Amino acid sequence: MYLFQQAASLSLTLQTARQNQLSIGFVPTMGALHEGHLDLIRHAKKQYDRVISSIFVNPAQFNDPADLAKYPRTLEKDLEALALTGADYVYFPEVSDVYPPNSQPETYPFGALETVLEGAHRPGHFEGVGMVVARLLRITVPNGLLLGEKDYQQCMVLQSLLKQMQWEQKVALHICPTRRENNGLAMSSRNQRLTEAGKKQAALLYEIIKSCQERYLQFSPDQLSDWAIHSLEAQGNIRVEYFSFADAQHLQPVQHWNESPAVRVLAAVWVEDVRLIDNALLF
């Protein structure tokens, strides 16, 4: 596995791989890797000749400086896990390599996609995500971009980014299923900050999501989200930021199930001062 801290040398290496007709799959991450991230690497290895992963905690996507400061960083362990899983190249730059001091911040408008759900609760978040992924794509120029369904809104935002860059024909987008703990809790780097008791309590979120999948037809979206919020908060240690049903493509909230051919449930909750998100397809 080859390690890079400089975009220029990584670009050159990947350019040579492309010239040698090798296809490239790209897995961007912020590190503190878990099996969910490694699933993306495994998936990329099946589809592409070479796999490049990045580890970069992108300051531009954190609206809360305390969240950025607390974000777990486990570089040594991450590199070991990536090597064992079979990544070929890893890019783990300093902030100045991704955002050189004289570079102009380019932003991409994501319209209504970035004003709902995560976008509504984390102002500027998707602007930061768009900016960093556009830069990483220009450095790596991959054939495929592998993302996790766990961050479903991010997947839709980055699908829009590829369109805006006019790269949608050039880069295939793969959305890989959410990897979960045995108790259903979606794996997340942030779970490291939960106590064992917190991890158990947090598993209720997926229980409630599954109940919604089973019984949505008996209720309206509003009734179901009221029930879900009440059930989660009744537990005492969970605070719900949002629990919504939205059109799966545009992520606009639905008032009636027949408003959209595909509806997702998406939620953000706080457990022990840790913000967790999860989502699933209803139909």
Binding residues for ligand AMP, per CB under 6 A?
29-30, 36-37, 39-40, 147-148, 150-151, 176, 178-179, 186-189
Q: Which of 34, 37, 174, 256 is catalytic?
A: 37
**Between 10 and 147, CB nearer to ligand AMP:** 147
**Between 127 and 151, CB nearer to ligand AMP:** 151
Q: How far is the CB of 177 from ligand AMP (least distance, A)?
A: 7
**Between 36 and 198, CB nearer to ligand AMP:** 36
Cβ–Cβ contacts within 10 Å for residue 3, how many? 12
Alpha helix stretches (DSSP H) within the chain: 7-19, 35-47, 65-70, 75-85, 95-98, 118-121, 125-140, 152-164, 196-202, 204-215, 221-233
Query: Which contacts (CB < 8 Å, 24+ apart) does range 82-85 have?
Result: 82/1, 82/33, 82/38, 82/41, 82/53, 83/1, 85/38, 85/41, 85/42, 85/45
Rounded distance between C-alpha atoms, residue 190 and residue 192, angstroms: 5
Q: How far is the CB of 186 from ligand AMP (least distance, A)?
A: 5
Rounded distance between C-alpha atoms, residue 96 and residue 119, angstroms: 26
Closest alpha carbon to 276 in 214, 213, 184, 147: 184
Residues whose CB falls within 8 Å of the CB of residue 37, separated by 6 or more in sequence, listed in order: 27, 29, 148
| 37 noted as active-site residue | yes
Q: Which two tokens stand for residue 280?
A: 């699933």
Q: How far is the CB of 75 from ligand AMP (least distance, A)?
A: 13
**Between 128 and 221, CB nearer to ligand AMP:** 128
Closest alpha carbon to 173 in 64, 39, 27, 21: 27
**Between 114 and 216, CB nearer to ligand AMP:** 114
Q: How far is the CB of 31 from ligand AMP (least distance, A)?
A: 6
What are the residues facing 119 on neighbouring strands? none
Positions marked active-site:
37
